[in-house]
Structure 1
Amino acid sequence: MLSDNARAALFMLVSMAGFVVNDTFVKLAADHISPPQIMAVRGVVASLLLFLLAWRMGALRPLAMAMKPRLLVRTIADITATLSYITALSHMPIANASAIFQALPLTVTLGAALFLGEPVGWRRWAAIAVGFVGVLVIVRPGTDGFTIYSLAVLASVAASAVRDLTTRRMDPKVPSLFIAMITAIAVSLLGWLLIPLAGGWRPMPALTLVHLSCAAASIAVGYIFIVQAMRIGDMGFVAPFRYAVLVFALILGLVVFGDLPSPLTLLGAAIVVASGLYTLYRERVRGVAAPIKTQVH
């Protein structure tokens, strides 16, 4: 029998794999349709899957609850994060986007200190600073490797941090599945609204529809297993396994797209991950109850 922590770590690995598989299928679909159309179609499938799960597990709540201020802010932030990330992913390698996105835990820690008044000692401030140096190594502003899509990933990180900090202040009685379902519905609706502004509806080959269906199933798996990991494991033990997403992204990026990140990108990713791991370590040493529960996408 596996311990709770071992099971939670396994669930976290499955969750990270689900998110990267989603990214892979989204990137494949992006060759044929626009990011808003991806959001719209993937969102329909994901919303249906999450609705069925929420219904089966008794997590459905009145839709009017979606208009509560904190849930509304969280939904808007998640929509912004999704649109920014999918737009970037359409134009850059998966591993590069994932490497930049690993700054999210550091950004959330920074936001918690600045806006929620949570204590952060000088060691964690130093780790945050070093982590953002790692981001600069990956992005390399002022060089040929720097593009607007690098900024889009950073915008996604900022929006995700707002989402996660808002989640931290939400009523714990609101089921996670209900929150995920509301977010999926909102993302899909925005996608449908933005399609006319992105060149209109584009005919989808059957294979693209398969890709989007697989993406929706994969991201649903990611959300389900990350919730399970958070509920049964010690977050100080489980959270570092989140960085497995970068390993999965490197493997799938190379196998599916033939993308091999540059040495500087790998160095920057290593700096970001090391800084994040040290931050988690300091939280555990200081006896912080649990790291902020962040999502990936």
Structure 2
Amino acid sequence: MSGTRRLFAELAILGGLILVLAALGPFGSYATPLGPRLLHWALYLVTGYAFFRPVIAAGSALARQMGMSRLVAIAVACVLGAFPTNVIFVFAAAGPAWRSVTASDLAGAYLQTLIVGATVTIVQLLAERGAVPASPAPPTPALPDPQPAAAADATEQEVAPALLDQLPPHLRGPILCLENEDHYVRVHTLHGSALVLIRMRDAVAQLEGQGERVHRSWWVARRAVAGAVRQDRNWKLRLIDGREVPVARASVADLRVLGWLGDAPPAA
């Protein structure tokens, strides 16, 4: 599913939710006439959609940086995103009497805003799971000590056939790294990436001897490392496709012994 099609699908679902909420009239809104009630929920959901659409991306980034569960990070982002949405909606609903809005008014509407935001976020998660879990393929970089593509693919197929078999055919090839996303693992290859329903430890076990678990959420192939970047006490591995992968502090000593944190890329 392309980004445009997914956006239209989300907006269609949002329109359906507006009609359902206007018909049901939850949170005491049923006492309002249908026209104003429809406008009430349209304003609420459209405003919530504008603020909550970035929540999944923000939660995913937080999970990578903090090494926490992606769902927990998304929930935290959702709770935080409800604050600006709530403020805008309450003041917009007050209209000319906006000066009379009190802290108790904001607090009373926050739960309703959070429920709406959580609904919008769940819609996006469902759309994400329903989409083809593949990202656009980046330009194919050259591997250190390259070998013919067929031979490379054959080598990967011999070592991890189960993992590669779950990738779309056009993405199968040398695996650069694995990224943990809740119950899924995003497999990054030379040709792009895709989500696979597998536990991280099981995916890593299939690639034993080819790389290292450098972080709670990341495994990196030895031959994919092009260098390392240090920021204060934190390290990141720079891969041959330009990606930077965080290194857990507990892994720094082991990776230094392996030569992964030196100026030159580690030997294959």
Say yes or no: TM over 0.5: no
More strand by share: 2
What band does the TM-score fall into relative to the shorter chain? Answer: under 0.3
The TM-score normalised by the length of structure 2 is 0.28
More helix by share: 1
The TM-score normalised by the length of structure 1 is 0.26
Which structure has the higher relative contact order (CA within 8 Å, separation 6+)?
Answer: 1
